[in-house]
Structure 1
Amino acid sequence: MILLLLCFFVTGVFPMKPKEIYVKAGDLVVLHCGECKHDGTLIIWTKETDQKMHLDSNMSASEQQQLGLVVYQNSLVILSASVNHQGNYSCGPLGNTSSKMWFMLTVCPKQSEECNIRNRYNQRCYSGQSCTLHCPEGFIVAAEIPRMKSYEPKWYKESGELSEHYFPRVSLKESGIYICTRSFLYSGQTYNTSHAVVLDVQKGEDIPNLGIGSPKDGQVFEVELGTKVEIACKALTGSCDDSLFWTRDEEFLDNWDYYKDPCNGSEGTSGWITTTLVFREVSQANLSKNYTCKFESDKLTQFVNIVLSKKAQPSYMMLTICTVSIAVLMVVTIVIYVKYKIDITLFLRDKVGFKVCQSNTPDGKSFDAFLMNYKSVTDGGLSEEDRKYLASTLEDQFGYSLCLYDRDVLPGQAVAEAVLDCIDESRAVILVPSFPDPELGSEVLSAIHASLAEKKTRLIFINTEQMEASTSGSFPEALQLLSKAGNSVTWKGGPPSSSFWKQLRYHLLAPQQAPKMGLLEQEF
């Protein structure tokens, strides 16, 4: 009191009643100057001793660490309270002595009964009802202090035994003193602060499950900056006189930051009350605040804490990656197919039994292909030995049923008629250049050109390297037309696994595995 009178005579301003704060030695404590909102004004802290010590946020980190303090905005944090920190403190804006606040800090020994009594918080629950112990926030504002990390509180019974803080159906025997310990990490050191909660469990009544129904404790609301957001807190109450309100960082809100709906209950019956938190335009500062909806009645006190989180913007990175990956996969697939389409088609046909782009319906044909010779305009035609190798490989190695002129057509039949019959009974025609001149000459080609075009018979035109070197103008007109209508394969012979055989088989349909029959036998 003498100190307060002295301040009045020196400054001409009588200070307000100091706020008494009791803290156990070794605990962390925060002194907060004014409201939580900080407008950037430099706050000066003064410890009222014979030699006044002035503190502010401009102090170097080493000076603050040496004193065991953290000065940030309008908060003074004593990391580990000791008797050296005990005393009277004042704070206020620089140059404004009329707006000072006063604190009287008392540091008690760890086993001090006075501190235990003064730092107790009462909470009432009713047997048979759910009960959640709430750790008093006190003046802890670790979320606002850079490089300070807070941990979830731990609960202990007065005996030191670890305890739960939620009781689904609390009983009378749960009454007692519970210690809530909070831990904070700062500059590699852990600091603690403890509060005692006296739980008073009273005999419950057969009443509805009163209390806050929504939102849920710890619920996170995703919001967009600059938009209007309303969050309704709804509670079931036994009387419209019960209280339901919002706080921000443990401070009451301005009237325009919330509104209340009329209570829909009547005297003696339960009803719902709603108080809605209003953000007319969500700002970045709102995201760092803690909002609490508190319900108070003569039978229950309940807290629900919520936080705001910035809604994640839609990311197109994954969509872009997927699109590019699909495009690359399609390009690679196309390139592989174009390069290996013959091998892929033959693999599916031979190993898997899949006939690509072919109908499984029988077409009534007796032969897979008609092997027809024509006179080569050069000396590069296939010899008789090569023609026999071609026929035997297709039939014996690959199972094709071939119509051969010298085998399936009886002597005496007209050449043109016999050729047309072979074409009609075959699913494809293979034109083979022959040297020396075979029995079928180039004059037959003109007679069958129209038939091939009409029936749309599959045509494979075998060339030789000598024929490719010659000009197309040296070919007969009918041969030129046929070569343009069919698929061309260059004869290279070789084993059945060579590229020539793969290309030839690719242009042919898969063998139908039907029994081979001669044309003349069918006529009889």
Structure 2
Amino acid sequence: MMSFIFILLFLLLVGGASPEDDQSSEPTEPMCDDWGEEGAESVLEGEVGWLSCPLFSHPSVYNYSSTHSAGLHLFWYHRPRGHELEEPIALSSRLIKHKDRLWFQPAERNDSGEFICMLRNVSSCSRMTVRLHVLPRDNELRGSACEPPVAVAPEDVQLYLQRGRTLDCPHLGDATKMADGPPSVTWYRVNRAQSWCQQYPFWNSDWQQEGSSLRFHNMLVQYQGLYFCRVQYQRGDLVLVYTRVLNVTAVHSISLPKEPSVLRPAVDEVISVRTGSEVRLVCRGLFPVMLEHPWLDIWWTVDGKTLDQLPDHQRFSQTSREVLYNFGDRTVENVLLVQPFSSRDLDRDFNCSVRNQRGFETRRTQLEEEGTPPSVELGCGLGVTLVLMLVLFVVYQVFWLELLLVYRSWFGSDERHTDDKEYDVYISYARNSEEENFVLSTLRTVLEDELGFSVCIFDRDSLPGGTITDETLGFVARSRRLLVVLSRGYASRGSQALLELKAGLDGMALGGHLRVILVQYRPLPRQVWVRELRRARVALALVRWRGDESRELTSRFWKRLRVELPVRRAEGGANKTLLRLLSQNSTSSQTGLISTTRKDPDQVLNRTA
């Protein structure tokens, strides 16, 4: 009995422990290392596309052949757009896994989202995510009428000028592996700048399609642009297509020299720098096009050392940028910034260096200290210049009439030698006692006796028995100036003064051989002027008689009047008159203007007052 109970307890203990022992003996799934997300691919709806597992983009870590032989298996999962959980991909005739790629033949709209590729075995697991965008087929992807839509960015292709080369459609070898037969390729050439496109064959024999490739026999500048290749192949009962685009640009011929050269600093160029300030030194190099080895380098050295090797490297920094691209030839500029520039830097060697696969060149920069401008001397010179300009401005404003008279006396031309006029001045005035005394006793006397002008006055110089109209017009036509003495009674309708005024205005407007001068003897409002005077006032010179102020020959009235009258060279008494005009200190020693006339000047001025 006791032995039976002991056996029963032993079986219960063994039976209770066996399930736990069996569960612990099962292999557990390893934790998966997530490498994050890398890249994104785009494909056009209805066309062929594929995703490459980004884990194999690091060959030093994962290689497809070695991982497959090591027992690692590749699995694909899909997380649709807007979902949180990924789902295993059910492979089919449309979704095909071929080595490290997942093919979509063709892609559909709901394929957009995140795709996770996972490498795992019983002991390790790694995963990485790549994103896929399936673009709808609409008009936004089409640039012109015959341009095929494409979702993949263009590949840049550079062709040497005057050389030939063959263009291959990208990924054509991959499509050949998935096709049941050789694929067919259709080429298109597109010029978006001129909004046209053309399907092969093109208009001349410089292009030729050889199988699936496009052959350039002779590359020219005008052949640059976008070239589309549309690949079509058969897989089972399906006809599948995809499109790629190449951006073809021309570069300089391969026969040209390919060694780099330093453009700046130029040979024997001396750069002025200022100590204690920020100094920028420019190194500019030309790098000819090289398709095989396109790398280049441009840098500064100081005393044969790079900037990071200098003990005071904190003061130095450099930046590079491309300033010109010309058919593959690149001009690159490197700017060295020294802040602050010290006096001991003048003795250091600053070298600009350029290098590519073909050669190397370096050039030393010659520096000199910029001279400090003498601030005291510069300030004094500027002050003297300003004072001199101010003095000249004041002198001109005060003595501009005198200066103009002196200039005319030296450089002015005598009109008597250039025309056939008989009189210098014809005086037109109202026929009343007040204006007549002013004209005969003042104007005529000074103009003829003092200044030497020939004056014509109708009442004095006309012959008896003639026609007033004909003689008036004749006198005006034979005069160089028409001097009009304005007063309230001047130029009333039907008067001889109005006839003289119209004749002078017509002569000035038509032939330009006569100028009209207005002398305002008494102040009068503009409203009383006749219409002819109001219209011509803008082009006429107006000289105002100011009574006692205008008596002396050195007054502003006579100077202003002389400026308007013809030029007379200084001869005899005229020379003395010019000296009196320019000498203000001798004014008190001159006799009164009217005292030189044949009438009493005080009586004339009292009558005019």
TM-score scaled by length of structure 1: 0.35
The answer to which structure, 1 or 2, has the higher relative contact order (CA under 8 A, 6+ apart) is 1
Structure 1 or 2, whichever has the larger Rg, is: 2
